[in-house]
């Protein structure tokens, strides 16, 4: 069962998870030294929620739907933004200008159909909503003119493990199940989906599928795409259900059409996904590099070696320092292998040898055959880094209140173009922050032909003007990605915020084909208009 307690209106977490005044005062006193740039040291308090400041709802709930639809101001405000830096700032300042007119929380597919029928009759847009962790404006109910209202369709009641096929190792899971709920249900059967995005606590299976999310393991099955066996969705034109198959050569894949559809083609209600026994063997090492370039060479050599580690991340020294994964004196590679059966030791030793050949020094190394969670998990930089990884979203709450801008950019490119790309991002951040910002790089995922670099930008926030500041950094960095032929996203999706660069990236005939599919599946253009492409209205 999901935790149904209220989410914070601005912070990562639930009401009560926001940092308290004492913690913030302590942080403000030390943050400048930790981050390496000056901040003004003032702690700002979030604007208290004022229900009367919200625009009145423009559409009326039909009596037949009153049990699953609410026009409640708090519920509407909670779904007015997603989880990007600009979303957090708006919530922090009590600005809920894009609050939907109603929040529907259907309990079955029939009720989803009824909500879609209501939306068609009321000329309203519908925004499918999972965990609201979108960082690209994917759930922001900012719809173009021409609609008489907006309904956010929250999938929170669809949170059950429905079936487990332990012969084929697959599970049928409802789309609104968030990471912890889904993993707990599978754990009861000794299985795991082994899919850990950093937003794991709140993000849902349906959200992962339609945003083509990436888990925290660095190679092999990293994208949700690799784990999906079949998808079931309700579209305004009818039910979409694909066959359960391990693979298929029968024409273009219906699942792949929904993967990345970002709530514009249908509402995903459930999916069969591949699961596996929980790992029993793990091996992990932390390797240090004096020169970042040597770490890059090592990661590339490992990615091309065929050894397929479950983790192989390179983290810049400065980022390792302020995430407390290292002391900042060297760049850190976290190397890990795991298995529920075959031994990992030999592959682990070979990968370590490559890491050392490229100039690395092994700081800690542990594991190989021990049980999961025991000593083989290691207690070094790697284990510390993973803990910090899952807790990191909470740190942003403190940064925002203390006047620090925190934004991330993720992309993917080929190895031959990585270095120029990184230089371009560093220079764009320097220009847009007057040299006061800091940008660090790590690899979140690696492929034989290229890395997925993830850039973290931290800078003193222009208090009161953070959204414009954020926008200028976002545009400058996105331009660099585009000019260098890198993807506007590796796993954060397109939403509303990445559209200008996505439109340059996708071939025009493909865009036309997508628009035709949209017109067929969603003839009135009600689903998430403005996300992925211009709204199509008849
Ligand atoms: C701190 C933080 C860390 C993150 N880390 C990662 C990471 O490691 N890897 C990663 O891939 N992403 C990451 N993200 C981005 C985000 O978590 C993903 O995009 C995630 O997949 C969104 O899932 P969600 O359930 O929250 O979807 P939402 O944010 O609710 O929605 C995202 C999009 O999916 C649509 N949608 C949601 N549910 C459905 C459904 N059932 N049917 C149809 N459409 C639907 C929405 O309309 C919207 O377009 C992170 C975000 C934050 C804030």
Residue 538's pLDDT band (boundaries 50, 70, 90)?
low
Residue 446 has φ and ψ, to the nearest 5°, of -135, 150
Residue 428 has φ and ψ, to the nearest 5°, of -65, -40
Structure tokens at 14: 């639930």
Place of tokens 């899971």: 173
Q: Give the number of the atom of ligand 1 that is nearest the alpha carbon of residue 82.
A: 29
| Total length of the chain | 538
Choice between 367 and 436, residue whose per-residue pLDDT is larger: 436
How far apart are the CA of 205 and the centre of ligand 1, in A?
A: 9
In angstroms, the CA 420 to CA 218 distance is 22
- pLDDT value of position 372: 37
Choice between 256 and 371, residue whose per-residue pLDDT is larger: 256
How far apart are the CA of 109 and the centre of ligand 1, in A?
A: 21
The 10s digit of each residue's pLDDT in 295-347 is 999 999 999 999 999 999 999 999 999 887 889 999 999 999 999 999 999 99
Of the candidates 54, 93, 92, 91, the residue with the CA atom closest to the CA atom of residue 72: 54
- pLDDT value of position 3: 78
Is residue 85 within 8 A of residue 393, CB to CB? The reply is: no
The 10s digit of each residue's pLDDT in 344-369 is 999 999 999 999 999 999 998 887 54
Q: Whose CA is nearest to atom 23 of ligand 1?
A: 207
Whether 213 lines ligand 1, by a CB cut-off of 6 Å, is yes
Whether 222 lines ligand 1, by a CB cut-off of 6 Å, is no
Residue 120's pLDDT band (boundaries 50, 70, 90)?
very high
- pLDDT value of position 41: 84
The 10s digit of each residue's pLDDT in 191-204 is 999 999 999 999 99
Mean pLDDT of 473-494: 98
Site to substitute for ligand 1 among 129, 313, 456, 495, most atoms within 8 A of C-beta: 129
Choice between 181 and 380, residue whose per-residue pLDDT is larger: 181
Q: Give the number of the atom of ligand 1 that is nearest the alpha carbon of residue 262.
A: 49
- pLDDT value of position 378: 41
- pLDDT value of position 384: 53
In angstroms, the CA 305 to CA 366 distance is 21
Whether 140 lines ligand 1, by a CB cut-off of 6 Å, is no
- pLDDT value of position 418: 98
Q: Give the number of the atom of ligand 1 that is nearest the alpha carbon of residue 206.
A: 41
List residues bridging with 410 in a β-sheet. Answer: 454
Q: Give the number of the atom of ligand 1 that is nearest the alpha carbon of residue 196.
A: 8
Q: Which domains does the chain have, with CATH numbers?
A: 44-51+63-278+506-538 (3.30.465.10), 403-501 (3.30.300.330)
How far apart are the CA of 527 and the centre of ligand 1, in A?
A: 16
Residue 389's pLDDT band (boundaries 50, 70, 90)?
low
Radius of gyration of the chain (CA): 23
Site to substitute for ligand 1 among 78, 154, 178, 199, most atoms within 8 A of C-beta: 199
- pLDDT value of position 373: 36
Whether 210 lines ligand 1, by a CB cut-off of 6 Å, is yes
Distances (CA, A) of 456 to 172, 288, 316, 429: 36, 20, 10, 10
Q: What percent helix, strand, coil does the chain show, rounded to 5?
A: 35, 20, 45
Residue 220's pLDDT band (boundaries 50, 70, 90)?
confident
How far apart are the CA of 489 and the centre of ligand 1, in A?
A: 13
- pLDDT value of position 5: 87
Whether 129 lines ligand 1, by a CB cut-off of 6 Å, is yes
The 10s digit of each residue's pLDDT in 23-80 is 898 888 888 888 888 888 899 999 999 999 999 999 999 999 999 999 999 999 999 9
| Strand intervals (E) in 146-280 | 149-154, 161-165, 170-174, 191-192, 228-235, 238-241, 267-274, 276-277
How far apart are the CA of 290 and the centre of ligand 1, in A?
A: 36
Lowest mean pLDDT among 31-40, 379-388, 527-536: 379-388
How far apart are the CA of 45 and the centre of ligand 1, in A?
A: 27
Site to substitute for ligand 1 among 213, 410, 518, most atoms within 8 A of C-beta: 213
Site to substitute for ligand 1 among 81, 157, 197, 271, most atoms within 8 A of C-beta: 197
Is residue 149 within 8 A of residue 58, CB to CB? The reply is: yes
Whether 127 lines ligand 1, by a CB cut-off of 6 Å, is yes
Mean pLDDT of 413-427: 98
Site to substitute for ligand 1 among 210, 228, 394, most atoms within 8 A of C-beta: 210
How far apart are the CA of 282 and the centre of ligand 1, in A?
A: 29
Whether 177 lines ligand 1, by a CB cut-off of 6 Å, is no
- pLDDT value of position 322: 84
Residue 467 has φ and ψ, to the nearest 5°, of -70, -40
Residue 478's pLDDT band (boundaries 50, 70, 90)?
very high
Mean residue pLDDT of the chain comes to: 93
How far apart are the CA of 211 and the centre of ligand 1, in A?
A: 6
How far apart are the CA of 136 and the centre of ligand 1, in A?
A: 9
How far apart are the CA of 206 and the centre of ligand 1, in A?
A: 8
Is residue 331 within 8 A of residue 288, CB to CB? The reply is: yes
The 10s digit of each residue's pLDDT in 223-233 is 999 999 999 99
Share of the chain above pLDDT 70, in %: 95
- pLDDT value of position 32: 87
Q: What is the DSSP string of 421-479?
A: HHHHHHHHHHHHTTT--EEEEEEEEEETTEEEEEEEEEEE--TT-HHHHHHHHHHHHHH
Residue 371's pLDDT band (boundaries 50, 70, 90)?
very low
Is residue 414 within 8 A of residue 450, CB to CB? The reply is: yes
How far apart are the CA of 132 and the centre of ligand 1, in A?
A: 6
């Amino acid at each position: 069962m999901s935790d149904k307690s209220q989410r914070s209106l601005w912070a990562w977490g639930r009401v009560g998870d926001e940092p308290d005044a004492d913690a913030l005062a302590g942080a403000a006193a030390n943050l400048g030294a930790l981050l390496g740039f000056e901040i003004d040291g003032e702690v700002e308090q979030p604007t208290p929620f004022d229900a009367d400041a919200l625009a009145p709802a423009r559409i009326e709930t039909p009596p037949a739907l009153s049990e699953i639809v609410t026009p409640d101001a708090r519920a509407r405000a909670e779904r007015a933004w997603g989880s990007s830096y600009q979303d957090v700032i708006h919530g922090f300042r009590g600005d809920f200008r894009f609050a939907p007119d109603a929040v529907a929380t259907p309990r079955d597919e029939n009720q989803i159909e009824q909500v879609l029928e209501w939306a068609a009759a009321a000329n309203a847009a519908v925004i499918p909503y999972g965990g609201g962790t979108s960082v690209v404006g994917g759930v922001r109910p900012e719809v173009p003119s021409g609609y008489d209202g907006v309904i956010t369709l929250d999938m929170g009641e669809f949170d059950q493990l429905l079936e487990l096929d332990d012969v084929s190792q697959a599970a049928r899971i409802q789309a609104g199940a968030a990471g912890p709920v889904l993993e707990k249900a599978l754990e009861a059967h000794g299985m795991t989906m082994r899919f850990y995005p950093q937003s794991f606590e709140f993000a849902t299976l349906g959200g992962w599928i339609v945003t083509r999310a990436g888990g925290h393991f660095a190679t092999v099955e990293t994208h949700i795409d690799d784990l999906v066996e079949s998808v079931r969705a309700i579209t305004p034109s009818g039910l979409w259900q694909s066959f359960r198959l391990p693979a298929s050569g029968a024409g273009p894949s219906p699942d792949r059409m929904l993967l990345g559809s970002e709530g514009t083609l249908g509402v995903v209600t459930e999916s069969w996904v591949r699961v596996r026994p929980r790992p029993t063997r793990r091996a992990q090492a932390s390797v240090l590099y004096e020169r970042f370039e040597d770490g890059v060479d090592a990661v590339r050599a490992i990615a091309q070696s065929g050894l397929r580690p479950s983790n192989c991340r390179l983290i810049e020294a400065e980022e390792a320092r302020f995430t407390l994964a290292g002391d900042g004196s060297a760049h850190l590679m976290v190397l890990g292998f795991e298995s529920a059966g075959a031994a990992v030791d030999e592959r682990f030793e070979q990968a370590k040898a490559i890491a050392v050949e490229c100039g690395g020094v092994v700081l800690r190394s542990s594991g190989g055959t021990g049980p999961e969670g025991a000593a083989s998990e290691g207690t070094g930089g790697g284990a510390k880094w993973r803990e910090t990884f899952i807790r990191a979203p909470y740190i942003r709450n403190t940064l925002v209140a203390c006047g620090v801008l925190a934004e991330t950019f993720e992309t993917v490119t080929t190895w031959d173009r990585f270095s120029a790309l990184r230089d371009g991002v560093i220079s764009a951040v320097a220009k847009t922050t007057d040299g006061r910002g800091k940008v660090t790089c790590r690899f979140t995922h690696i492929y034989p032909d290229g890395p997925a670099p993830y850039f973290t930008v931290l800078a003193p926030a222009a208090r009161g003007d953070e959204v414009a500041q954020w926008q200028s950094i976002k545009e400058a960095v996105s331009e660099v990605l585009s000019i260098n032929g890198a993807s506007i996203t590796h796993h954060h999706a397109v939403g509303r915020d990445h559209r200008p660069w996505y439109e340059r990236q996708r071939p025009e005939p493909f865009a036309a084909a997508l628009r035709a599919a949209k017109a067929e599946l969603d003839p009135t253009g009600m689903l998430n208009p403005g996300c992925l492409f211009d709204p199509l209205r008849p």
